[in-house]
Homo-oligomer: A and B are copies of this chain.
Amino acid sequence: MTLNKQWLLASRPSGAPTADNFRLVETPVPVAGEGEVVVRNHFMSLDPYMRGRMDDAKSYAQPQMLDQVMQGGTVGEVIESRSPLLKVGDKVRGGLGWQQFGKADARQFVKISGEGIPLSAYLGVLGMPGVTAWMGLTQIIEPKAGETVVVSAASGAVGGVVGQLAKARGCHAVGIAGGAMKCDIVTREFGFDACVDYKADDFRARFKDAVPKGVDGLFENVGGTVMDTVLQRMNAFGRVAVCGLISGYNGDGAPMKEFRSVLINRLKVQGFIVSERMDLWPQALTELEGMVRSGQLKYRETVAQGIESAPQAFIGLLKGENVGKQVVKLI
C-alpha cells in the first residue's frame, strides 16, 4: 500500500519558523468520491505568503490550521478520476498543499495543456507569481513607456517577471536584490536596466544613481528600509503596488519612515491579492505564455528535492536563499 507523506503545521512560529513548527506524517493515499479526482503531485510551491498564514492573526486569508496539511499550490497528474472533467493522466494545477497525493473536486483544478513547457513553470512564471506580477503592474502601476519602474526582490518569482513586463512596455526597469550574484541575474539574464544590491553599504547612493529620472512605479515585495529608500525617490503621482512585505514577516518589521512621500508626491499606494481578480487570470496568462514561448520572458527556479526538504527550503526562502521560483520536486 502506497502512503502519502504530508507536512502538517505542528506549532505556530514566534519569529522565524524552525523545523519544529512542522511535522511529517504518513497517511493512506486518498480515494476519489463522486466528482472528485486524486492527483499525484509532481511539484509543490513554496511562497512567502505562507509565513503569514502560520500566524493566528487577522490577514486576508484564514490562518493555516494547526495539525492540518500546510496549504499551497501544486502541479501533478491525475491518477484516479470520478469526474467527466478530468481523466487519468491529465496534468493539472491545484492547491493540494505540502503532500505527495491529494484529492479534491475536479472543478478545483486547472488542466495544463502547455506542450514544451516544464510542469513546474505553472507554479511560477505561468502561475500565481507570474499573474501577481502582471496584475500589480498593469492594474495598479499602469506604466507608460519611458517611465521608471522599480521592483524589490527582483530575482524572485514575482519580481523577475515585473521588470521584464515593464521592459516590454518601454519602461526603464530597475531591480533591488540581495547580493551581487542575484543582481547579476536580474540584469544579464532578465534584462533589467539596472539592479541595486540592498546589502551594499552605499545602497542608498547606488539606488539614487540607478534612477536618474526618479521612480514612477514601485512594485513592493519587501517593505522596511528598502521601501523607504525607494519612497525618497518617487516622482509626483507615482504608483506603489504593495504585493508583499517580506522583511516584516518574521516579526514586526522596520517601521516606515518615509510615509510623508505619499503626501508630498501625491502617491497612490495600493495593496492587492492576485486571487481576488480571477477574471483577469486568462488575460495575464495569455501574455505571459506568449512571452515564455517566444523566449522574451526568462525565469529561474530553485528546486528542492523530495518532500522531506520542504521545511528547510521554506525557511531558506524567507531568508532570500532562493533565486527565482522556489519549488519542491516530489518525484
Taking chain A's interface residues, is the majority helix, strand, or loop, or is none over half, making it mixed?
loop
- Asked whether A76 is an interface residue with its Cβ less than 8 Å from the other chain, the reply is no
Taking CB as reference atom, which chain B residue is nearest A236?
B60
Taking CB as reference atom, which chain B residue is nearest A260?
B245
- Asked whether A316 is an interface residue with its Cβ less than 8 Å from the other chain, the reply is no
Within 8 A of B (CB), among A241-259: 242-245, 248, 252-253, 255-257, 259
- Asked whether A266 is an interface residue with its Cβ less than 8 Å from the other chain, the reply is yes
Complex Cα spacing A257 to B268, Å:
19
- Asked whether A262 is an interface residue with its Cβ less than 8 Å from the other chain, the reply is yes
Instruction: Judge whether A272 and B264 touch: CB under 8 Å.
Output: no
List residues of chain B with CB within 8 A of the CB of A59. 264
Give which listed residue, B236, B268, B276, contacts A270 with CB less than 8 A.
B268
Whole-angstrom distance between the Cβ of A54 and the nearest chain B Cβ: 15
- Asked whether A230 is an interface residue with its Cβ less than 8 Å from the other chain, the reply is no
- Asked whether A88 is an interface residue with its Cβ less than 8 Å from the other chain, the reply is no
- Asked whether A278 is an interface residue with its Cβ less than 8 Å from the other chain, the reply is no
List residues of chain B with CB within 8 A of the CB of A245. 259-260, 263
Given contacts A60-B236, A236-B60, contact A266 B272 (CB under 8 A): yes
Whole-angstrom distance between the Cβ of A308 and the nearest chain B Cβ: 32
Whole-angstrom distance between the Cβ of A210 and the nearest chain B Cβ: 19
Whole-angstrom distance between the Cβ of A277 and the nearest chain B Cβ: 11
Taking CB as reference atom, which chain B residue is nearest A60?
B264
Given contacts A268-B269, A269-B269, contact A252 B263 (CB under 8 A): no
Complex Cα spacing A242 to B242, Å:
17
Instruction: Judge whether B276 and A266 touch: CB under 8 Å.
Output: yes
Q: Residues of A within 8 Å of B, CB-based: how many?
A: 30
Taking CB as reference atom, which chain B residue is nearest A269?
B269
List residues of chain B with CB within 8 A of the CB of A255. 255-257, 259
Complex Cα spacing A58 to B261, Å:
10
List residues of chain B with CB within 8 A of the CB of A273. 266
Give which listed residue, B252, B264, B267, B269, contacts A257 with CB less than 8 A.
B252
List the 5 closest pairs (A to B, CB-CB), nearest first. A255-B255, A269-B269, A263-B271, A256-B256, A266-B271
List residues of chain B with CB within 8 A of the CB of A143. none
Whole-angstrom distance between the Cβ of A51 and the nearest chain B Cβ: 12
Besides A259-B259, A264-B271, A265-B271, 20 other A-B contacts (C-beta < 8 A): A60-B266, A243-B263, A244-B263, A245-B263, A252-B257, A253-B260, A255-B257, A256-B256, A256-B257, A256-B259, A262-B269, A262-B270, A263-B271, A266-B270, A266-B272, A266-B276, A267-B270, A267-B271, A268-B268, A268-B269
List residues of chain B with CB within 8 A of the CB of A248. 260
Complex Cα spacing A266 to B164, Å:
25
Instruction: Judge whether A260 and B223 touch: CB under 8 Å.
Output: yes
Q: Report which residue of A60, A223, A271 has the largest number of chain B beta carbons within 10 angstroms of its beta carbon.
A: A271
